[in-house]
């Protein structure tokens, strides 16, 4: 990201966006002036061990904050006299706040405190993943800022969102005129402050696009300094083609790529991350800037529609219902569902398919597709359950948890040097359905299970994958590091006790060991509990030209 003055002809929107950046500069310029007034810090974090986000070894240091900035990182004790607040971090780790590159922020205006995220230590969350996000972005960002946020948020512009606005759920390539309208919308999203474009090529209507369409739109984002994050077209049997397509888009559009929530779905593909990671390495060797993000679980979560052939979903659920009344079409839809249950998200066993949120039958939440088949008196097999899958979609859909990822792949992908940690979690609060535990536990789970208990990563590298790496990917030069002058997004945790507590059975549980979280210098979690402060900002990317 390059900060530069707005052109004289800037629109009101551009001016708003640049005022935010100007504010950051004022913050940094004012630091020396304030320092002359004495050592009255707003916050001093005392006696902790700093893991600074760069990956370098930890060191003992005190950290002082004034306003929204880290103003001192000192290996000798900092004088706390006059400090507004002193946090005793002895025995604990002081790290940059975690940056979540894949967040389902959709409930943000209803849950602006974002407690399920900040209590994991997340201080900046990137929304708009998987091809869908708010649009128009500028107006949404303004309402989010007014809502009073518990963390910082940023956005991607979604390909599916843009395509649906121009073409609805049509199953075809765009006309030249439609493609041009999509390009304009992507440019608008970028000019409003998006950090790049996301696709969800496994979902409709993104599935109906060809690679050349995505390349054309990714070029628009690339020209403004954006990145491209890809929910691949296939993560099961077609995984290699899916990874290959994302790499092609990176090469053709000359855009940095993130393979988001990277995994290998279904038993037939277990172990194949060896090959996908080799594809990433060889793309990078050719100069294509490909990175990865990952959540640390062996189950995915997405809508039940993912079990239905995408062609059958064209033009919406009423069209699906119509097709189901045609015997030949019904037969081929159900055969497609059976195939997905056997070879893709179903993992060959309908006990692996668990209901998350089901608005039309809450009793199903937490139960499996196998349970539902038994309840309904149909054979608990892929064949018996296939009509139920379509029925669920026609009832309004359901959010599903698919237990179809191999632990060996999780560890191998995590250990790869280009992999960052991201939750793919949706903001939630206790009592709301049966969310994937990643919504509460992603970052503590990596630090507890994979760093401390299994030794897959060192603590320094684990933190780096949550902080410095994603900050760099986003071009955020002022976040993701514990250094003087950086914005004071900080988390203080106990490396001996940090752990996720949310499980697939009991997901609504906050993590352990995350004691204090500061967002823009203000504590939002203190002593393990949420405070009343809402210092979060909408962070806008400044397009490069």
Closest separation in Å from C-beta 130 to Zn ion = 4
At 349 the three-state DSSP class reads coil
* Residue closer to Zn ion (CB basis): 123 or 160: 160
Contact stretch for Zn ion (CB under 5 A) within 115-123, 230-238, 324-332, 426-434: 230-238
Q: How far is the CB of 29 from Zn ion (least distance, A)?
A: 40
Smallest separation, CB 423 to Zn ion (Å): 11
Using the rule CB under 5 A, give the single segment among 182-190, 228-236, 312-320, 463-471 that binds Zn ion: 228-236
Q: Which is nearer to Zn ion, 345 or 464 (CB)?
A: 345
Residue 206 structure tokens: 């993104």
In terms of CB distance, is 130 or 234 closer to Zn ion? Answer: 130
- Nearest to Zn ion of 303, 387 (CB atom): 303
Q: Segment 51-110, which members bind Zn ion (CB under 5 A)?
A: none
**How many residues make up the chain in this entry?**
545
Q: How many Cβ atoms are within 10 Å of 98's Cβ, its own excluded? A: 34
**Quick one: 115 or 130, whose CB is closer to Zn ion?**
130
Strands 69-74 and 59-66: antiparallel
- Per-position x/- string for 240-279, each x denoting binding to Zn ion as judged by CB under 5 A, each - no binding: ----------------------------------------
> Which stretch, 63-71, 135-143, 187-195, 227-235, contacts Zn ion (CB under 5 A)?
227-235
| Closest C-alpha among 530, 513, 514, 534 to residue 522 | 534
How far apart, in whole angstroms, are the C-alpha atoms of residue 292 and residue 413? 8
Residue entry with tokens 């139920």: 388
Residue range at the interface with Zn ion (CB under 5 A); choices 23-31, 179-187, 231-239, 307-315: 231-239
For residue 399, the minimal CB distance to Zn ion (Å) is: 12
Give the residue with the Cβ less far from Zn ion, 299 or 385: 299
CB atoms within 10 A of CB 363: 11
Query: Could you give the 3-state DSSP secondary structure of residue 83?
Result: coil
- Provide, rounded to whole angstroms, the least separation between the CB of residue 453 and Zn ion: 27
Gap between the Cα atoms of 367 and 385, Å rounded: 14
Which 117-146 residues touch Zn ion, going by CB under 5 A? 130
The residue at minimum Cβ distance from Zn ion is 231
Q: What is the dihedral of CA 457, 458, 460, 462, to 10 degrees?
A: 20
Binding part of the chain for Zn ion, among 32-40, 146-154, 224-232, 432-440 by CB under 5 A, reads: 224-232
Instruction: Give yes or no for a cis peptide into 319 (omega within 30° of 0).
Output: no
Q: Which is nearer to Zn ion, 295 or 440 (CB)?
A: 295
Handedness of CA 508, 357, 533, 40 (dihedral sign): positive
Through-space distance between the first and last CA atoms of the chain, rounded to whole angstroms: 11
Q: Give least dist CB 202 to Zn ion, A.
A: 8
Biggest CA–CA distance in the chain, Å, is 81
From 9-17, 171-179, 223-231, 387-395, span contacting Zn ion (CB under 5 A)? 223-231
Closest approach of Zn ion to the CB of residue 246, in Å: 13
**Total of residues contacting Zn ion (CB under 5 A):** 2
The residue (of 66 and 473) whose beta carbon lies closer to Zn ion is 473
231 near Zn ion, judged by CB under 5 A? yes
- Nearer Cβ to Zn ion (158/448): 158
Torsion, Cα 522 527 530 533, to 10 degrees, reads -20
List residues bridging with 98 in a β-sheet. Answer: 122
Q: How far is the CB of 231 from Zn ion (least distance, A)?
A: 4
Q: Are 346 and 352 in contact (CB under 8 A)?
A: yes
Q: Which of 308, 277, 305 is nearest to 291 (CA)?
A: 277
d(CA 213, CA 334): 30
| Closer residue to Zn ion (CB): 89 or 217 | 217
The reply on whether position 436 binds Zn ion by CB under 5 A is no
Question: Shortest Cβ distance from residue 424 to Zn ion (Å)?
Answer: 6
**Phi-psi group of 450: left, alpha or beta (phi > 0 → left; psi -120 to 50 → alpha; rest → beta):** alpha
Residues that bind Zn ion (CB under 5 A): 130, 231
């Amino acid at each position: 990201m390059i900060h530069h003055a707005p052109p004289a002809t800037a629109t009101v929107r551009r001016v708003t966006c640049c005022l935010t950046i100007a504010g950051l500069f004022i913050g940094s310029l004012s630091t020396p002036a304030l320092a002359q007034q004495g050592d009255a810090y707003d916050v001093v974090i005392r006696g902790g061990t700093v893991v600074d986000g760069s990956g370098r070894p930890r060191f003992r240091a005190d950290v002082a904050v004034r306003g929204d900035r880290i103003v001192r990182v000192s290996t000798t004790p900092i004088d706390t006299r006059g400090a507004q607040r002193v946090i005793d971090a002895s025995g604990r780790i002081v790290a940059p706040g975690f940056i979540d590159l894949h967040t389902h922020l959709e409930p943000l205006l209803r849950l602006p405190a974002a407690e399920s995220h900040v209590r994991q230590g997340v201080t900046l969350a990137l929304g708009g993943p998987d091809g869908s996000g708010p649009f128009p972005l500028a107006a949404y960002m303004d309402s989010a800022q007014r809502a009073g946020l518990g963390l910082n948020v940023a956005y991607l512009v979604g390909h599916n969102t843009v395509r649906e606005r121009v073409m609805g759920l049509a199953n075809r390539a765009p006309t030249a005129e439609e493609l041009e309208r999509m390009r304009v919308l992507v440019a608008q999203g970028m000019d409003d402050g998006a950090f790049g474009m996301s696709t969800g090529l496994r979902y409709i209507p993104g599935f109906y696009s060809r690679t050349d369409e995505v390349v054309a739109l990714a070029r628009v984002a690339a020209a403004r300094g954006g990145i491209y994050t890809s929910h691949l077209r296939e993560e099961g049997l077609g995984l290699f083609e899916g990874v290959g397509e994302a790499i092609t888009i990176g090469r053709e559009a000359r855009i940095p790529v993130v393979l988001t929530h990277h995994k290998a779905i279904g038993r037939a593909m277990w172990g194949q991350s060896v090959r996908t990671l080799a594809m990433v390495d060889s793309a990078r060797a050719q100069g294509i800037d490909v990175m990865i993000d990952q959540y640390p679980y062996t189950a995915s979560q997405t809508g039940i529609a993912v079990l239905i052939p995408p062609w059958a979903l064209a033009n919406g659920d009423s069209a699906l219902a119509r097709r189901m009344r045609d015997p030949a079409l019904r037969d081929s839809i159900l055969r497609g569902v059976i195939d997905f249950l056997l070879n893709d998200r179903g993992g060959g066993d309908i006990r692996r398919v668990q209901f998350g949120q089901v608005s039309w039958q809450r009793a199903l939440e937490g139960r499996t597709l196998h349970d539902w088949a038994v309840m309904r008196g149909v054979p608990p097999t892929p064949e018996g359950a296939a009509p139920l899958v379509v029925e669920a979609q026609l009832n309004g859909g359901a959010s599903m948890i698919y237990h179809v990822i191999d632990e060996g792949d999780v560890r191998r992908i995590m250990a790869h040097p280009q992999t960052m940690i991201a939750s793919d979690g949706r903001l939630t609060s206790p009592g709301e359905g049966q969310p994937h535990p990643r919504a509460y536990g992603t970052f503590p789970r990596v630090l507890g299970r994979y760093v401390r208990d299994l030794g897959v990563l060192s603590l320094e590298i684990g933190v780096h994958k949550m902080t410095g790496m994603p900050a760099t990917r986003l071009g955020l030069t002022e976040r993701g590091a514990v250094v003087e002058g950086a914005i004071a997004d900080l988390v203080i945790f106990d490396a001996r006790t940090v752990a996720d507590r949310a499980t697939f059975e009991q997901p609504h549980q906050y993590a352990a060991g995350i004691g204090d979280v500061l967002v823009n210098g203000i504590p939002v979690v203190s002593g393990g509990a949420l405070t009343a402060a809402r210092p979060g900002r909408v962070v806008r990317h400044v397009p490069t030209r």
